[in-house]
Amino acid sequence: MTLPDVILDVGLTWREIAAIANGAPLTLADAPNGRIEKGRKIVNALVDRGIRAYGITTGVGALADTVVDRSAQAQLSRNIILSHACGTGPLLSAPAVRAIIAAQINNFAHGYSGICPETVAALQALLNHDCIPAVPSKGSAGYLIHMAHIALVLIGEGRAMLNGQMLSGAEALTKIGLKPLTLQAKEGLSLVNGTSCSAGLGAFALARAHRLADWADTIAAITLESSGAQMAAFDADILALRKSPGIQKVGATLRARLAGSRHIAQSFAKRTQDALSLRATPHAHGAVRDVFDNTAIVVNQELASVTDNPIVHGSPEDPKVASEAHAVAPALALALDGLAIAISQLSMLSERRLDRLVNPLVSGLPPFLTNDPGVGSGLMIAQYTAAALAAENRRLGAPASLDGGITSALQEDYLAHPTAAANKLLQVLDNTEQVLAIELLAAVQAADLIAINPDNGIKMRASGTNALYQQVRHLLPAYGDDHALASDLEALRNLIASAEPAPIP
């Protein structure tokens, strides 16, 4: 499927960054091109006049007071890329790298970076040819390392994936019709500076979290149905007493999904109230949605901001440069940490609901949802897997924004760690997708067992939950201890990661 171009004019939002991450081409309007050209002219004027400016006519970090001659300024830019490209660990996914590049271009388009228009065009070409630099996922205390590995390809170094083949940076450029760039004054610093890495990864994570929240509500609905939940706790007028847009949204989704459920009707008043893992679903899921909304505001705020140091401003006739701390992003780090904690709680609640489905002490169903208890273990150990992943999420909930650290010979003695927070959030999303997939498998298996009773069948399910049931059963049959369960878990995890829940008929 060909995705429509994303047009960059005033600036990009997290949704547009996410669209580019997932393959949409990027086009720049005339206005940002004009701002980029003006910023470059200001840098040229600063160089011509010999004005002392961080990273332009001086070294960087603790070498900020070391003057660099004009003849060596291009070499400085190249050296910055080479020395800062020291990442380690597994490579980031292609969508994650695309998100970072899109956020980089967005930051340059504000016009305060002084980057050459040709360099921005080269970054745009990487996106539009789906030429993905090899970017290690680890090693960045702030923002420098990931973007340096992207910049390596622009100068013909490093590696990039193109059409399924890993090539040298020079080979990749040749195949998309470009030559290696000779970077000019300030360009090396501009290419590694700013919060484009954490903002891009944050936007990509938001898109995944948005889809995951929809799946969590939908999966909870079929679990509630299979558990014979007491729906009075989800009445609109009752939930309205708790002032939260997220709670109201989740409550409305549950009521819509479960409307007309015969199994829910037959369970009416069987219990005074359900366990909290069932009854508090709107509250926990709603809290995640409220945190998500706040995080989206912060990420969009970051994308709308200039995050370089230094910035160039004024005019070519009256060039100015200012050193500041816009490349530090404590608000973004705090927001991404908060969303990681919220998503971790989502996995915790999912695992608890799952346990109630497989536990014969509370489910009223065959132990571990197997037709042959003893000979078959059913979903016994799948619940172990969910518990392990939820536990890992709790460990990942420790805030990266409090890590601190001192770098660059005391010059950079405060670190907010937004990139670490973003990477941690992506790991939490990976785990939570799998936990929810296990809950979904169990809820659908329970629905099969409930339907075995006489005169039940498909009529026991609400149309909203039956749509989800059919979505799963078109992919997988009921589990009968007849094959390795891991393949089923992976299939449902891939469904959650790549598709939307079946709509209510």
Domains of the chain: residue spans and CATH: 6-193 (1.10.275.10), 205-306+327-498 (1.20.200.10)
Instruction: Locate 311 and state its tokens.
Output: 């910035």
Strand partners, 72: none
70 has a pLDDT exceeding 90? no
The CA–CA distances, whole Å, from 187 to 58, 77, 181 equal 13, 6, 11
Helix (H) or strand (E) holding 76: helix 73-84
Cα separation, 320 vs 51, in Å, equals 9
| Residue located via tokens 């340096």 | 148
69 has a pLDDT exceeding 80? no
Catalytic: which of 54, 112, 469, 479? 54
200 has a pLDDT exceeding 80? yes
Residue 190 pLDDT:
93
Strand partners, 161: 132, 166
| Burial class of residue 491, CB neighbours in 10 A (0-12, 13-18, 19+) | middle
Residue 454 pLDDT:
45
Alpha helices in 155-280 (DSSP H): 169-175, 187-192, 196-226, 236-239, 245-258, 262-266, 276-279
Residue 299 pLDDT:
98
Residue 143 pLDDT:
67
247 has a pLDDT exceeding 80? yes
Would you give the DSSP letter of residue 130?
T
65 has a pLDDT exceeding 70? no
Interval 3-30 mean pLDDT:
96
The answer to whether the Cα torsion of 436, 438, 443, 444 is positive or negative is positive
Residue 376 pLDDT:
76
Would you give the DSSP letter of residue 12?
-
Cα separation, 363 vs 297, in Å, equals 41
Q: CB of 344 within 8 A of CB of 396?
A: yes
61 has a pLDDT exceeding 70? no
243 has a pLDDT exceeding 60? yes
Residue 58 pLDDT:
75
Residue 412 pLDDT:
67
Phi, psi of 56 (to 5 degrees): -110, -55
**In angstroms, what is the C-alpha Rg of the chain?**
26
| Residue located via tokens 């967005």 | 106
Interval 265-291 mean pLDDT:
93
456 has a pLDDT exceeding 50? no
Going by pLDDT thresholds of 50, 70 and 90, the confidence category of residue 219 is very high
Cα separation, 244 vs 322, in Å, equals 42
Cα separation, 293 vs 326, in Å, equals 23
Residue 452 pLDDT:
59
pLDDT in tens, 396-453: 999 988 887 766 665 666 677 899 999 999 999 999 999 999 999 999 999 998 875 5
Q: Which residues contact 108 (CB under 8 A, 6 or more apart)?
A: 36, 115, 120, 190
Residue 2 pLDDT:
78
pLDDT in tens, 286-341: 999 999 999 999 999 999 999 998 999 999 999 999 988 888 889 999 999 999 99
Residue 414 pLDDT:
64
Residue 408 pLDDT:
62
Say whether 414 is catalytic.
no
- Asked which of 62-71, 184-193, 203-212 is least confident by mean pLDDT, the reply is 62-71
The verdict on pTM exceeding 0.85 is: yes
The residue among 257, 309, 341 whose CA lies nearest residue 53 is 309
Average pLDDT, the chain: 92
Q: CB of 378 within 8 A of CB of 367?
A: yes
497 has a pLDDT exceeding 70? yes
Helix (H) or strand (E) holding 479: none
